[in-house]
Amino acid sequence: MENHTTTWNWDHSYIRLNKLLFSEVTPTPVPQPELLIYNSKLACELGLKQKIDESLLAQLAGNLMNEGIHPIAQAYAGHQFGHFNILGDGRAILLGEHLTPTNERFDIQLKGPGRTPYSRNGDGRATTSAMLREYLISEAMHGLHIPTTRSLAVIKTGDEVYREYVSEGAVLTRVAASHIRVGTFQYAAKYLPKEELSIFCNYVIQRHYPEVANDTNPPLAFLKKVQDKQIDLIVNWMRVGFIHGVMNTDNMSIPGETIDYGPCAFMNTYHPSTVFSSIDRNGRYAFGNQPSIAQWNSACLASALIPIIHEDKEEAVKLCQEVINEFPVIYEQRWAKMMCSKLGVLEEQAEDAELIKELLTWMEENHADYTNTFLQLTHSSEDHTGIYASNEFQSWFTHWKKRIAIYSMHDVNKLLSSSNPKFIPRNHLVEKALYQAANLNDFELFHTLLEVVQTPYDEHPKYDHFQEPPLDGDVGYKTYCGT
């Protein structure tokens, strides 16, 4: 454990880019930094101290900018609910890029550190509850084996934050492959001359997709790669019932990580039109719309890249269109493969599409819980109760049993247990844990829930009740953005 005594190993490659892409800015010091949670395991992975000391605490609160930290706020734009806006880190500040002992590069960013030139009317601050929420859900996503930004620490500031009610403020340390978004390219395309857009694109290629650097058309190959990563990400969201809630182009990360845990939630009862976000009145970002929105976002990235894809704009559009048109085809293939894995089907066959469709239709008609339905597959039919004992489900179950009978049960069970989480962060538990932690300073439930959702494919016999959906379903459950 000796090697966990290193501190930062900064590099600041972003600062060497065009000055229009960021602003130098200092976090606003906070009166009383107090550690709420520190991710020792992640710290170890990063080659940082396993225990937070006073100096690191002060840095992560935004109070101490020493040891080579070079804080900036990044500029970006974005289509928010389909409308184009100029944005930027309004309540986030990048401390720099940290290189781990194995030479991996991670952005280290403070979320909630005070105003920046991009704050518009906002206060640049965040509530304790919202930052603990991001910590919990991002770590749950990591536990689910889904690419995501990580959370290193949450530090209470000692300041009040004014929302609909007065809350305590906190700063989250977010760790990401980078914070470069589709919206960053939209910004670059709008403000940078073509040559500079090209330099920026080459930088991002070198940083995230170096394998396309020598392609005959690197920006086009890059578009394909980013789209590919997005498809994998959305397929993963669909696997576990995750609803991002605000898939604006500024919240779509170029390295393909889940980013920005604002109004996100997990679906209990299966329905494609499920939406929890209070601001998503038309269900633009509903569960079942996520793939088509990701395609839409991919088209936004394509638009931004057009000037550097081909001299002839018409030709560039044509080349982009070919890539974007592939989205639904590739998505459908990967989704079907993923759904087969949720059924323990080792090699996909044509008839499986029907098996999947029948189950989803049954779930929708019977208001079945998405997560728990797949867990029923490891039980024998005598153990099925409630809606799972019904003739309809049993008939499907018999059909399914026949389908998987050609494989070894050992292999089927292995695939089932790696594709289907036993635990998701259930909305009602998340809310209860956050309420107790943020309002009553009682972290017991927060810590147990965190532990369980960090290893969601394992058994947690003491916490079987965490698998239960709320008694009244999700009626009236709402999530809020940017709190």
Q: Please list the active-site residues.
A: 250
Can residue 260 be called a binding residue for Mg ion (CB under 5 A)?
A: yes
The smaller minimum CB distance to ligand AMP, of residues 124 and 425, is found at 124
* Degrees to nearest 5, angle at CA 119 with 30 and 54: 25
Least CB distance to Mg ion at residue 246 (A): 7
Least CB distance to ligand AMP at residue 232 (A): 22
Q: Name the E strands within 177-281.
A: 242-243, 265-266
Least CB distance to Mg ion at residue 416 (A): 35
Q: Residue 470: which of ligand AMP, Mg ion, none does it interact with, CB under 5 to 8 A by kind?
A: none
Question: 352-370: string of b/e by CB count within 10 Å (b at 16+)?
Answer: beebbeebbebbeebebbb
Encoded tokens for 470: 């709320």
- Whose CB is nearest to Mg ion? 260
Q: Which residues bind ligand AMP (CB under 6 A)?
A: 87-91, 118-119, 122-125, 246, 250-251, 260, 262, 481-482
Count the Cβ atoms, other than its own, within 10 Å of residue 50.
13
The Cα 169–Cα 433 span in angstroms is 17
The smaller minimum CB distance to ligand AMP, of residues 101 and 122, is found at 122
The smaller minimum CB distance to Mg ion, of residues 91 and 225, is found at 91
Least CB distance to ligand AMP at residue 259 (A): 9
Q: Residue 482: which of ligand AMP, Mg ion, none does it interact with, CB under 5 to 8 A by kind?
A: ligand AMP
Please report how many Cα atoms fall inside a 13 Å half-sphere around the Cα of residue 219, on the Cβ side: 24
The piece of 105-113, 247-255, 362-370, 376-384 that touches Mg ion (CB under 5 A) is 247-255
Q: Residue 47: which of ligand AMP, Mg ion, none does it interact with, CB under 5 to 8 A by kind?
A: none
Please report, in angstroms and rounded to a whole number, the separation of the first and last CA atoms in the chain: 38
Least CB distance to ligand AMP at residue 233 (A): 17
Q: Residue 344: which of Mg ion, ligand AMP, none does it interact with, CB under 5 to 8 A by kind?
A: none
Check residue 369 and report its DSSP letter.
B
Can residue 251 be called a binding residue for Mg ion (CB under 5 A)?
A: yes
- Check if the beta carbon of residue 322 is closer than 8 Å to that of residue 351: no
The smaller minimum CB distance to ligand AMP, of residues 125 and 334, is found at 125
The smaller minimum CB distance to ligand AMP, of residues 218 and 256, is found at 256
Least CB distance to ligand AMP at residue 100 (A): 27
Check residue 215 and report its DSSP letter.
S
**HEC secondary structure over 373-414:** HHHHHHCCHHHCCHHHHCHHHHHHHHHHHHHHCCCCHHHHHH
- Check if the beta carbon of residue 37 is closer than 8 Å to that of residue 43: no
Going from the C-alpha of 122 to that of each of 116, 119, 408, the distances in angstroms are 9, 5, 57
- Whose CB is nearest to ligand AMP? 122
Q: Residue 422: which of ligand AMP, Mg ion, none does it interact with, CB under 5 to 8 A by kind?
A: none
Helix, strand and coil content of the chain, in percent to the nearest 5, comes to 50, 15, 35
| Rg, the chain, Cα only | 23
Give the count of residues interacting with Mg ion (CB under 5 A). Answer: 2
The smaller minimum CB distance to Mg ion, of residues 107 and 260, is found at 260
Check residue 243 and report its DSSP letter.
E
Q: Residue 88: which of ligand AMP, Mg ion, none does it interact with, CB under 5 to 8 A by kind?
A: ligand AMP
Q: Give me the phi and psi of 110, to 5 degrees please.
A: -95, 135
Can residue 186 be called a binding residue for Mg ion (CB under 5 A)?
A: no
Least CB distance to ligand AMP at residue 417 (A): 35
The smaller minimum CB distance to ligand AMP, of residues 248 and 373, is found at 248
Of residues 341-380, those binding Mg ion (CB under 5 A): none
Can residue 134 be called a binding residue for Mg ion (CB under 5 A)?
A: no
Q: Residue 117: which of Mg ion, ligand AMP, none does it interact with, CB under 5 to 8 A by kind?
A: none
β-pair partners for 175: 108, 150
Residues at the interface with Mg ion (CB under 5 A): 251, 260
